């Protein structure tokens, strides 16, 4: 299935503005949703990483397109960690996600802020700016994974 990026972004934006809880028919859907959003985010973040690390040539327009998707996707996974979703397997999420909700939320908000900065950096059309923002965003991913992900 192929969706135009504006459509995906419109859906993502609409979803992000809804209340976080009780939008899923069953907990398994919530888990699939959060894992899917994280997967899409990592694919597009990885494409920026390939440019930043010189594995593919720097393409300013592609960097912006990828960063737009990363920034939108970063808003989505958190709705999928609601009550009851801690019992669904398989998952790499640690129980602390649910027992330390306020701290976990701080990590969520940090990531959303970092990906907005990543997009802003991409729009400057400067590879140097992109490198800095990519590194900072990657550290934010890792900072949460180190505490809340099993591997
Ligand atoms: C990625 C990806 C992550 C982060 C993390 C950064 O591309 O899939 O989980 O970057 O590795 O430290």
Cβ of 35 less than 6 Å from ligand 1 = no
**Closest residue by CA, ligand 1 atom 3:** 42
The per-residue pLDDT for 2 is 60
| Number of alpha carbons in the 13 Å side-chain half-sphere of residue 82 | 17
Ligand 1 atom showing the smallest separation from residue 46 Cα: 7
Q: What confidence tens digit (pLDDT) does each residue in 42-54 have?
A: 999 999 999 999 9
149 backbone dihedrals φ, ψ, rounded to 5°: -120, 140
Tell me the helices (H) and strands (E) count for the chain, helix number first: 6, 0
CATH topology classification for 27-79+97-148: 1.20.120
Ligand 1 atom showing the smallest separation from residue 42 Cα: 8
- For residue 122, which of 64, 73, 68 has the smallest C-alpha distance? 64
Domain boundaries, given as residue ranges, for the chain? 27-79+97-148
The per-residue pLDDT for 64 is 98
Q: What confidence tens digit (pLDDT) does each residue in 64-115 have?
A: 999 999 999 999 999 999 999 999 999 999 999 999 999 999 999 999 999 9
The average confidence (pLDDT) of the chain is 91
Q: Cα(12)–Cα(102) distance, rounded to whole angstroms?
A: 24
Cβ of 45 less than 6 Å from ligand 1 = yes
The per-residue pLDDT for 23 is 87
Cβ of 92 less than 6 Å from ligand 1 = no
């Amino acid at each position: 299935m192929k969706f135009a990026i504006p459509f995906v972004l419109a859906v993502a934006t609409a979803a992000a503005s809804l209340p976080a809880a009780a939008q899923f028919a069953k907990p398994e859907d919530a888990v699939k949703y959060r894992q899917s959003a994280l997967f899409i985010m990592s694919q597009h973040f990885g494409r920026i990483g390939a440019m930043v690390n010189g594995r593919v040539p720097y393409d300013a327009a592609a960097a912006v397109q990828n960063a737009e998707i990363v920034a939108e996707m970063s808003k989505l996974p958190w709705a999928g960690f609601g009550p009851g979703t801690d019992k669904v397997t398989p998952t790499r999420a640690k129980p602390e996600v649910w027992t330390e909700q306020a701290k976990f939320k701080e990590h969520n908000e940090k990531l959303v802020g970092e990906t907005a900065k990543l997009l802003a950096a991409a729009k400057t059309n400067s590879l140097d700016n992109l490198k800095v923002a990519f590194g900072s965003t990657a550290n934010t991913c890792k900072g949460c994974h180190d505490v809340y992900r099993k591997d």
